[in-house]
Amino acid sequence: MTLAKVTANVVSTEKHAHYHGRKILVVQPVGPDGTPKGKSMLAVDGVQAGIGDLVLVVDEGGSARAVIGDETAVTIRTAICGIVDRIDVAEDRATAIDIEDR
């Protein structure tokens, strides 16, 4: 899983049938402190996330399809699986993530 921030919505007039009726968002991977890490990517929204939300993203096809509830959607690889409410960094630098289930 990757911690990321939702930065934009994707609008498309033509898309594969597996994406019909699904919201696609641009997410920027970030560190626990919110610092951008790596390149932005597209993810199917599985939890009703929106621009500005801090989210957890799975970037593995089987897990992504399980999040959206459609094992036949073989073209979907990346999905948002949780919205992060808070990040607590302990003294030993271990990170605990609290996820709101929506």
Chain position carrying tokens 């302990």 = 90
Please write the tens of the pLDDT for every residue from 37-52. 999 999 999 999 999 9
Return the CATH number at 50: 2.40.50.220
DSSP 21: T
Return the SS3 of 13: coil
- Asked if 15 and 23 count as a contact pair (C-beta separation under 8 A), the reply is no
Domain boundaries, position 96: 2-100
Report the largest interatomic distance among the alpha carbons of the chain, rounded to a whole angstrom. Answer: 49
- Asked if 28 and 2 count as a contact pair (C-beta separation under 8 A), the reply is no
Chain position carrying tokens 């808070």 = 86
Q: Does an H or E element contain 63, and which?
A: helix 61-68
Share of the chain above pLDDT 90, in %: 53
Structural tokens at position 73: 């959607």
pLDDT band at 102; cut points 50, 70, 90: very low
Mean of per-residue pLDDT scores for the chain: 88
pLDDT of amino acid 95: 53
- Per the structure, how many domains does the chain have? 1
Please write the tens of the pLDDT for every residue from 55-80. 999 998 889 889 888 888 888 889 99
